[in-house]
Amino acid sequence: MRSPGFDLTLVAVAAGGAVGAWARLGLAELAPTEPGHWPWGTFAANLIGCLLLGYAGTRLLERLPPSTYRRPFVGTGVCGGLTTFSALQFEVVELGRDGHVPLAVLYLVVSVVLGLAAIRLAAGVVRRARLVAA
């Protein structure tokens, strides 16, 4: 049973979240979203986050010895701070409301499909590397 008090897992999540949020801010500044256009900053952040989650999640679970802090730092922290499903939803609604319904639907579908593909691709790379190393 854990004793009450300071929890280093929460520190790992918070530190990772700060890293992810700063990366997201950088992407938003590199690719600001213009009304009625593809939201490249959010799109890039979500795809990079999916790649990172697929890679790190698979590597941390299948390739490296167990650790108390790596998964919370990378998975919950960095990926949680970097990716943003709420911004994706907001941008889809705004595009639709502004009369860009086909673009809104395309953005939603492409984001989900490529996000899932990115996770699968990154996990596959880790697993293939394990087979080559064996």
| Residue whose tokens read 């890293």 | 19
Q: How many CA atoms lie within 13 A of 88 on its CB side?
A: 18
**Is the pLDDT reported for residue 62 higher than 90?**
no
Average pLDDT, integer, range 82-97: 95
Residue 130: helix, strand or coil by DSSP?
A: helix
Is there a contact between 24 and 86 (Cβ–Cβ < 8 Å)? Answer: no
48 or 63: which leads in pLDDT: 48
Q: Which of 7-16, 28-37, 55-64, 84-93 has the lowest mean pLDDT?
A: 55-64
Q: What is the mean pLDDT of the chain?
A: 91
Average pLDDT, integer, range 42-64: 91
Is there a contact between 105 and 39 (Cβ–Cβ < 8 Å)? Answer: no
Binned at pLDDT 50, 70 and 90, residue 2 comes out as low
Q: Both tokens of residue 91?
A: 């941008």
Is there a contact between 17 and 49 (Cβ–Cβ < 8 Å)? Answer: no
85-97 vs 40-62: helix crossing angle, rounded to 10? 150
Q: What percent of the chain has pLDDT over 70?
A: 94
**Is the pLDDT reported for residue 44 higher than 80?**
yes
Measure CA 3 to chain center: 32
